[in-house]
Amino acid sequence: MAYRSTRQLEEKLARLEKELLAARDLEHATAERHAREDTPETEAVLEARRTHAEHLGKKREGLVGELRRGAVEEMGWAPDGGPGSGRAPSGGGRAGRLRIGAHPLLPERGYIIHDRVAATVAWVREVPSPALAAELLTEHGVEWGGELLSHSLSPVPEEAEGR
């Protein structure tokens, strides 16, 4: 994949999100029309609109992943996956005993940092450096009991992230 600047990716993502919103609006309008008319023609158009919206959604996921991977690398994390690892790039990374990845339930809202040795996690909005992540985990991390996410997990205060 050719290198693209963060700015280019963000601009492309903004355009794609507008296109996706318009496609979903058309899909919704077509679904309403099909509910009223129930013809093979409206059904075919609805299926085409759904397929187009799904395609745009997958394209958007790819751009978001590319932006996440770039942010993780830029802050000094070793990216997960990639050539030779046998795994697809995830947008997460590792630094010693620390890991970072998109929030599993709310990926648009930030990242989860995890200390594998101390078994603590913290929710951050932006990608911190590994050094700052260690500090945030010490001060704001909650014990991780092995479940997907702790119910006591809330975002690290913004002022703590912006050190």
Where do the domains of the chain lie?
A: 6-74, 93-161
Beta bridge partners of 98: 95, 115
Residue of 83, 85, 133 whose CA lies nearest to 113: 133
pLDDT of residue 2: 43
CA distances from 105 to 72, 111, 129 (A): 19, 10, 22
pLDDT score of 85 more than 70:
no
Average pLDDT rounded to a whole number, residues 107-122: 88
Name the DSSP letter for residue 153: -
Cα diameter, the chain: 61
Q: Is 60 exceeded by the pLDDT of residue 88? A: no
Please state, as a whole number, how many other Cβ atoms lie within 10 Å of the Cβ of residue 3: 6
C-alpha to C-alpha distance for 96 and 51, rounded to whole angstroms = 42
Band (pLDDT 50/70/90 cuts) for residue 149 is: low
| Non-local CB neighbours of 86 within 8 Å, separated by 6+ positions | none
- Mean pLDDT throughout 33-40? 96
